[in-house]
């Protein structure tokens, strides 16, 4: 039998309970801005990065289980949740820097990154900027691997978005939107699967400061044509880094086709599809999600990064289909959306 260097026996662990105090928000000031985060458990570091408009609260029900075998860090990204919301740089590269700096203040040198939606793009950018600090990647309905995105997000990226978001909080509007959501669910549409979670994101924008941060973040990654950044042109750099993709087959925000494209572009990656789930598969089936994360981290060795290997990958370039005859257009479109 051939020995797989990325596989190792399931480690023996001592399960421990997690108290409510560990799940409470904590705060660190980094570069003058308050960063909120949740920290729980002991063991190898597992960083949970939420999506746009969301917060660490999206992981709250999963953290106790994951924290039995890991040190779990779940930040509120700048501009989100209880973190400060300055007029700042909300690009994926800036978010990757922010995650690095928060982990540094917490004494965590390397970690497995779990990123959902925008957080998936941030996790990929973190791995690109700081490969020596990335042990594994777990990408959940991740942005940054295709142009398509829900038309509502494209609409919110246009001028006048502030007024549209503000109008959703007018008296009576919530009732009308709720009726529309129930209708979509009765019609069994994909958007109906995700609408309740998406409405929760709107409810998490209580004031103009929060809405401004949301729009600035969205416009850094989406315009009227769709997603404006990609990591597809650099996915070959994940060679040797354990990577798992988790996606709902009824995702109305980031189509499941993106999962198959990313899986093909990431050498040795693993793909798990949640049937019947939308953009939040960890809400639809939390038990399966936790089981997959625990099994993946227990049976794969952390990436063994070296400067020499990185140099070789960069010199060889992408071996993917974008270089094949007829693939020049795909490569050019991806390069136009690169996040450097």
**Active site residue ranges:** 117, 251, 279
CB atoms within 10 A of CB 170: 9
The residue whose two tokens read 């941030």 is 122
3-state secondary structure at position 158: coil
CB atoms within 10 A of CB 32: 7
| The two structure tokens encoding residue 223 | 């315009």
Q: How much is the CA Rg of the chain, to the nearest whole Å?
A: 20
Separation between Cα atoms, residue 48 and residue 77, nearest integer Å:
11
Q: What angle do CA 264, 267, 268 make, to 5 degrees?
A: 105
Q: How far is CA 256 from the centre of its chain?
A: 15
7 secondary structure, DSSP code: B
Separation between Cα atoms, residue 283 and residue 59, nearest integer Å:
9
Contacts of 326 (CB under 8 A, 6+ apart): none
Altogether, the residues listed in the chain come to a count of 340
């Amino acid at each position: 039998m051939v020995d797989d260097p990325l596989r190792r026996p399931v480690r023996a662990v001592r399960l421990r309970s997690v108290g409510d105090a560990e799940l409470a928000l904590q705060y660190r000031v980094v570069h003058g801005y308050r960063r909120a985060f949740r920290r729980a458990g002991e063991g190898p570091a597992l960083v949970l990065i939420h999506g746009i408009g969301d917060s660490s609260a999206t992981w709250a029900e999963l953290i106790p289980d994951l924290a039995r075998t890991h040190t779990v860090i779940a930040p509120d990204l700048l501009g989100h949740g209880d973190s400060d919301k300055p007029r700042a740089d909300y690009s994926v590269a800036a978010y990757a820097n922010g995650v690095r700096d928060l982990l540094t203040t917490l004494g965590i040198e390397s970690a497995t990154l779990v990123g959902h939606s925008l957080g998936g793009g941030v996790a990929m950018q973190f791995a690109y900027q700081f490969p020596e600090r990335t042990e594994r990647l777990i990408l959940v309905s991740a942005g940054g691997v295709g142009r398509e995105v829900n038309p509502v997000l494209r609409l919110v990226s246009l001028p006048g978005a502030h007024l549209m978001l503000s109008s959703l909080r007018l008296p009576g509007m919530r009732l009308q939107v709720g009726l529309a959501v129930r209708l979509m669910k009765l019609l069994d549409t994909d958007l109906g699967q995700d609408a309740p979670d998406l409405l929760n994101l709107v409810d998490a924008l209580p004031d103009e400061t929060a809405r401004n941060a949301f729009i600035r973040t969205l416009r850094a990654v989406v315009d009227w044509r769709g997603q404006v950044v990609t990591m597809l042109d650099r996915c070959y750099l994940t060679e040797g880094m354990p990577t798992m993709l988790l996606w709902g087959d009824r995702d109305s925000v980031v189509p499941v086709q993106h999962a198959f494209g990313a899986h093909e572009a990431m050498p040795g990656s693993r793909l798990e599809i949640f049937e019947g789930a939308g953009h939040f598969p960890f809400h639809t089936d939390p038990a399966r999600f936790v089981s997959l994360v625990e099994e993946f981290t227990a049976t794969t060795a952390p990436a063994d990064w070296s400067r020499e290997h990185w140099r070789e990958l960069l010199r060889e370039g992408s071996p993917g289909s974008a270089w094949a005859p007829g693939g020049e257009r795909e490569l050019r479109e991806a390069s136009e959306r690169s996040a450097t």
